[in-house]
Each structure stands twice: as C-alpha cells, then as structure tokens.
Structure 1
C-alpha cells in the first residue's frame, strides 16, 4: 500500500495538480489587481455650490462616475445648485468610482390637486391651503349650488382633481353664487335631442325626462313637445321634460293636442273677470276708554238765608214815642226801609259769613 503511494507517477500527478492550483490563484489575483486598479487612488474633486452641469463635467474629466439626485426645493439656493456630495471632497477613491451629488431642484416639487369640486367653499379653501396651493381670484358664477366650489383654474385653464401642480402655485377658483331668477325658457321644439341638450345647458337649465315615441334612446330624434313651454319664466336649474320622435312635430299634431290638454292650462276669457274684495289681514285694534275717575265728594257749602226783616214797628203818631213793652232786635246790618216806595230791603253781601242759624221766634207785643 505504502509502496504504491510513493510511486513516482503518483507523486508526479500530485505535483502537477498543486502547480495548476497555485497558477490559478496567482492569475486570479493578478486579474483582480488589474480590474480593480489595486493600489491606484485619485482624490474626489469638490463640486459643492457648483451648478450641476459644471459638476458633471468635472467628475467626467476626473474619471469618476456620478449619480444625480434632487432634494426638497430650497429658495435660499439657486436652481440646479449642488448642495451635497458623497464621498466628500477630502476622500480618495479608485478611478471609475461612483460619486452621488444632491442638487437643488428648479422649483418646488409638484403636488396633487385634491378633490374639492362641489364641496363647500370654506372647507375647500382650507384643503387647498393645506397641500400648498395659494388661492388668487375668487370668481362667482350663477349656480344652484350656492357657496360650492365649481372649478379650479390654473393660468386660466380648468384643473381636474389628481392633476399635479408646482407647490405654492397660485390658482383661481369658481364659486356658485346661487341660482338666477326669472329666466326665459328656450324653444327646443324641432331640434334633435343632442341639440336640445346643448341649448338647455347653455340657458342654465337641466334636461329632465326624455320620452321617445318608439322607446329608443336615439339622440337624433326630433323634439316635438316640451314642458314647460318656451317663453315661460323659471329659475336656473329647473328641469325641462322633452318628447322626441322620428316624425316631425307637424305629423304629431294630435299627440301635441293631447299633451296640451294635460300640461297646458286653458283660461276661459269669455267669463267676466272676478273681483276680489280686500279683506283686512289684521283685526282692528280695539279702543280702550280710560276708566272714569271716581267723583270727588264736594264739600257742603251752607246756604246763606237772607236775614228776615222784622215787621215795621208802630209808633204813636200823637206822642211820637215808641210803645212800651216793645222788644226790638237791632239788625246786624243797616238797612233802609222805605215803606212808601215798597222796595224790598237789600240783602247784605259778606265774604266771610258764618253759617246762618235758624232764628228763634220773637214775640212782639203791641199795645
């Protein structure tokens, strides 16, 4: 066994195999050194704050590969200005190595326009401001959707939701101001269904029910009847019902008369006009008399009785003396008694008279 192992043929094969292995390893390392430029390094040039065009030319002349990436736009720097690089300018790399540079973009990165169509204008403005769009002019347009955002305009063109615009772009918005009142309805009888749709939309109305005579939905059918009728006055957004047929309106007079009896109100002008009396909308206000004041009790003023005159005293004409036993009472006030003239004695007037007492009866004795 050992004798066969040390045979010269076996040893020769073993030496040849070892030589082949060593040769392959040597060739492999030599190839790697040549391919990877082992031991050869070059410095990375500084391209920061240069324009991207100048930076690319410098890297190509140095024998380095490059990769350009954009950062978030910064208005402090110029567009396409190199902000960062990797590896740094102080590094040494092999020829053909990759250098990554970060460039300031020309403007803000585009953003997606949110879906704010037909939304309340207050919420729509807030949403547009959140994504970075600035609102310029607000245009009000008649619409049944009052205070709703109808369209978004960018440089005069309508922008659909999902479109991409530069950040902080100035946009205009169209907001509904409410429906217009008392618009005359156009005449679409004799037009095709397609033409009638365009005329109705142009006059700010909407297409309602479309009834085709043959049950089809051919847009080329001719309109032979409409409700409301042309010339009537309606508000914006009202629906106009249409009846269409492949025949002309002249051929469908019987059908038109039948529809008139249903949708048109006939007014009999032979009857005299009806007069309506105006009824007061409010009841007359009742008049309230102030309550009568309670009578104030009057103070009783004592009546002043005229002083009674005593009967004339008889005197003795012969003697001229008063008769004896006569009791006389001097009157309170002087009076003039003219018996011959028959005048009544005057009653004295006094402002501060005491209440008169009933005089007691006096006895007059005449002898």
Structure 2
C-alpha cells in the first residue's frame, strides 16, 4: 500500500493538482485586483473653505463621489461653505469613493411660527422669543380686539401660524389698538348680502341679524333696509342688522314703513320749545352741630300818649268883680299836631 503511494504516477498527479490550485488562486486575486483597482488610489483633494458647488465640481473631476451634510449654522462662515471633509484632505482612496462634505447652511435651522393670533400681545411676544424669533416693529391697527395680535409679518408679507422660517429671523407684529369712536355707518342698501358683509368687515363692524324676506339664506339677496341707518355715528365693533329680499324696494314699501316706525324715532318739531326757568338758590340751613346764635335783646319803648294841647287865642278875663274868670279853652284846629306828654315810669 505504501509502495503504491510513492508511485511516480501518483506523485505526478498530486503535483499537478497543487499547481492547478495555486494557479486558480493567483488568477482569482488578479481578477479581483483588476476589478477593484487594487493599487490605484486617488488622493483626496483639499476643498475646505470652498463653496459646496466648487467642491463638488473638483471631486467629480477627480473621479470621486460625494455626500453633502449640513451642520448647525455658524454666522462666522459664508453660507454653503465647506467646513470639514472626511476622509481628510491628502488621504488616498479608491476611485469612486464617496467623500463626505460638512457644509455651513444658508441660515439658521427653520422653526415653526407659533399660533399667537388673537392672543394677548405680552404673552405672544414671550412665545415668539422662546422659539428664537425676534420682534422688530409693533404696528398698531384699529380693531375691536385691543392689545391682541392680529397678524405676523415676515419680510413685509403676512405669514400663517405653522410656517417655517429661519431661526432668529426678524418679524413684525400687528397689534389691535382698540375700536375707533363715532365712525359713520356705511350705506348698505342696494348691495347684496355678500357685498354688505364684506363692507361691514372692512369698516371693522360686526354683522348682526340678517333677515331674508323669503326665509331663505341666499347671499345674493338685495339689502333693502339696515339698522343703524347709513350716516349714523357708531363705535367700531357694533353690530349692523340687515334685511334682504329678491323683491324691489317699491314692492316692500309697506314693510319698510313698518321698520321705520320700529327703528327710526321721529322728533315732532311743531310743538313749541320747552322753556325752563331757573330755580332760586336757597341757602342751606346751618348744620345741627353748629350752635344757634341767640337773638339780640330788644329795647323796651315807653308807650306814648297823645293829648290835645290847647292852642289858639286865649280869652282875656273881664273885670266883673274882684276875681278874674278862667279862660275857656277853644277847640284845637285839625291842622295842629298834638304833642306827646312825658310819662315817668
């Protein structure tokens, strides 16, 4: 058996098999080397600080592929500037290898605008600053919603909540300044209900009752009556009631007169004007706490008695004997004033 193993024919076949195996392995590696460009390496070009467009063109001309990724925005560098390259510049890679480029984006990462419409302006400003938006100007506009956010402007255009804009963008906020006073009511008679509603909204009033004469809800009906009347002064935010119909105003004359008697007050100018007299200004009585002054003492006057004083010519005594006769007093004339006698008490 051992002799048969060392037979020259067996040894020859074994050597042939080993040779064939080695040849196949060699051919396999040569084939792999040919298809994988083994030994043919390309140095990575230095594209740092170049724009991404220039870097991509250089890599394509070199025979390398690329992958672009954006980092956090850094205002120190130009937009779309290449910040890093992997593998690093100078490294040798095979033809067709993908090179990763780290690029500075155009601006900050976008953020969604929060929903602050119709919210109080103080809270709205805080919410906008929390997401990284900066409020530049506050524009006040007449509105019944005082101190409430009406619109958000970005680069002069109104944007809706949820719109994504770059972080740290500068925006303007429109805030309501409150309703205006004594604004003339617009004339809505003759317009369609749709047009009337648009005019009411444009003048910052509210749509109140809308009464359709046929009981329908057609906005193409013509407004034939309104309350308040056109030209009346009202504050913004007040409601305006509308009456609409498909009929002509001539056909609705009776109904218009009924509405006038209900909503329009007539002032009778035939009556004479009312005259108002001024009320005398009486002095108020002294307060109860103040002492009442005592009355001043009055002086007593002595009663006066009037007696008649004889006046006139006295009769001369006659000489009839030794004793003279007393004179007889005569009557006092009415023209003489009596003199009062002094009475001692």
Q: TM-score, normalised by structure 2?
A: 0.70
Question: 3-state SS of the aligned residue for 2:255?
Answer: helix
What whole-Å deviation, never above 9, does each CA across 1:276-314 have from its counterpart, x for those lacking one? Answer: 7899xxx96953665599xxxxxxxxxxxxxxxxxxxxx
How far apart are 1:155 and its partner, in Å? 2.5
Considering only CA atoms, is the larger Rg found in Structure 1 or Structure 2? 1
In the alignment, structure 1 residue 104 sits paired with structure 2 residue 104: yes
Deviation at 1:187, TM superposition (A): 1.6
Structure 1 counterpart of 2:235: 235
Classify the secondary structure of the residue corresponding to 1:152: strand
Offset of 1:132 from its aligned partner?
2.1
Give the root-mean-square deviation of aligned CA atoms: 3.2
Task: Give the 3 Å change call, closer, same or farther, for CA 245–34 of structure 1 in structure 2.
Answer: same
Task: After TM superposition, give the deviation of residue 25 of structure 1 in Å.
Answer: 7.6
Alignment partner, residue 131 of structure 2: 131
CA distance in 2, matches of 1:285, 1:128: 67
Partner of 2:117: 117
Match of 1:50 in 2: 50
Question: Residues 269 and 77 from structure 1, CA distance in 2 versus in 1: closer, same or farther, beyond 3 angstroms?
Answer: same
Distance 2:19 2:193 in 1: 95
CA separation of 1:106 and 1:41: change in aligned 2, threshold 3 A: same
Which residue is 1:311 aligned to? none
Partner residue of 2:151?
151
Q: CA deviation at 1:175?
A: 0.7
Q: After the TM superposition, which residues 139-288 of structure 1 pair with which residues of structure 2 at under 5 Å, given as runs? A: 139-271=139-271, 287=287
Q: Aligned partners of 1:176, 1:157: CA distance in 2, in Å?
A: 18
Structure 1 residues 268 and 31: CA distance shift in structure 2, 3 A: farther
Task: Measure the CA separation in 1 of the matches of 2:29 and 2:62.
Answer: 27
- Distance in 2 (CA, whole Å) between partners of 1:285 and 1:144 is 52
Pair 1:258–1:24, CA change in 2 (3 A): farther
1:285 to 1:188, Cα distance in 2 relative to 1, 3 A:
farther
Report the TM-score when normalising by structure 1.
0.66
Q: CA deviation at 1:215?
A: 2.5
Matched with 1:34 is 34
Unpaired segments of 5 or more residues in structure 2? 1-17, 294-345
| Distance in 2, Cα, partners of 1:275 & 1:172 | 60
What is the SS of the residue equivalent to 1:218? coil
Please say if residues 190 and 248 of structure 1, whose CA atoms lie closer than 8 Å, have aligned partners that are also in contact.
Answer: no
**Pair 199,26 (structure 1): closer, same or farther in 2 beyond 3 Å:** same
Gapped runs of 5+ residues in structure 1? 1-17, 294-367
In structure 2, how many angstroms separate the alpha carbons of the residues matched to 1:139 and 1:95?
Answer: 60
Q: Cα deviation per residue 1:232-265 (whole Å; 9 max; x = unaligned)?
A: 2211011111111111112100111122233233
How much does 1:44 deviate?
A: 2.0
Distance 2:21 2:240 in 1: 96
Counterparts of 1:286 and 1:64, CA distance in 2: 112
